Amino acid sequence: MTASKAIFTLLAFVFLSVSLLHADEKQDKKETPPETASAEKSDANEDDAPKAVNLVPDPELRKVILEIKRRRQVDGEEITMDDLKNVWSLDANKKGIRDLTGLEHCINLGDAKLAGNEIIDVTPLRNCGSIQLLDLADNQVNNPSCLGDLKKLQYLNLENNQVKSLDGLENCVALNSLYAAGNSIVSIEPVAALQKLWSLDLSRNKIEDISPVAALKRLSQLGLAGNLISDVSSIPPGNGMYSTYLSGNKIADIGPLVKLAQTDAEGD
């Protein structure tokens, strides 16, 4: 064999080998198992799928809602929007609750007992437009202004919190009972708009001026003990049974109180 023929034969062999290699690679791609491709697509879909939303992040509040579900004979550990819409009454005193997130969806909530917890922010409650009774005593609430959106609220207990202002509550025009003793309230101006109030307790605050109570013609129970009050002339005469608590103040002239007592006696 001549040298030129040998070279030609070698080149032909190399070309054939490369061609066969490319053919094998194409065949491998064609023979990729469909289940593998499907699995890869499934994994991608799982990554893209929306994660479940935890509507009630506070673990203690979650337990309360789940118990309500069980009483309704609804199974499952997931809390849905429908579950929250079906919460009519909430009995959750002393449960260690800190976060009320989720209650904004409880649009049919009629009463909520949340005393003795660790609640600071009550904003979620502003959407509970059906609520009539709300007990938040013994928490850490510092700003109840959003509760002014609750037009049907009749009973509100804010005793022993960290409230400094009653601003916003003037919009709770259906209120007949307001208890806010044991806070740091200075001004009670908002209560003047609460014409349906018959029971008001603002004891143990930092109140000096009580003139706004003069506008409350239906008031029959008034607690103002332990404040900084010196002038009580604005206390309105009550109709029927009247209870006024003023101990622990700086009252200089008790004349108005004597007159108040005489008025009540004459009413009897």
Which residue ranges make up each domain of the chain? 55-162
pLDDT in tens, the chain (268 residues): 444 444 444 344 444 344 434 444 445 444 445 444 444 444 444 444 445 579 999 999 999 999 999 999 888 889 999 999 999 999 999 999 999 999 999 999 999 999 999 999 999 999 999 999 999 999 999 999 999 999 999 999 999 999 999 999 999 999 999 999 999 999 999 999 999 999 999 999 999 999 999 999 999 999 999 999 999 988 876 555 478 899 999 988 776 676 766 655 555 5
φ, ψ of residue 222 to 5 degrees: the values are: -135, 120
Q: Could you tell me which of 193, 218, 204, 108 has the C-alpha nearest to residue 158?
A: 204
Are the CB atoms for 44 and 38 separated by under 8 Å?
no
pLDDT value for 10: 39
- The whole-model pTM stands at 0.79
Q: What is the CATH number of domain 55-162?
A: 3.80.10.10
- CB crowding 192-219: b at 16 or more within 10 Å, else e: ebbeebbbbbbbbbebeebebbeebeeb
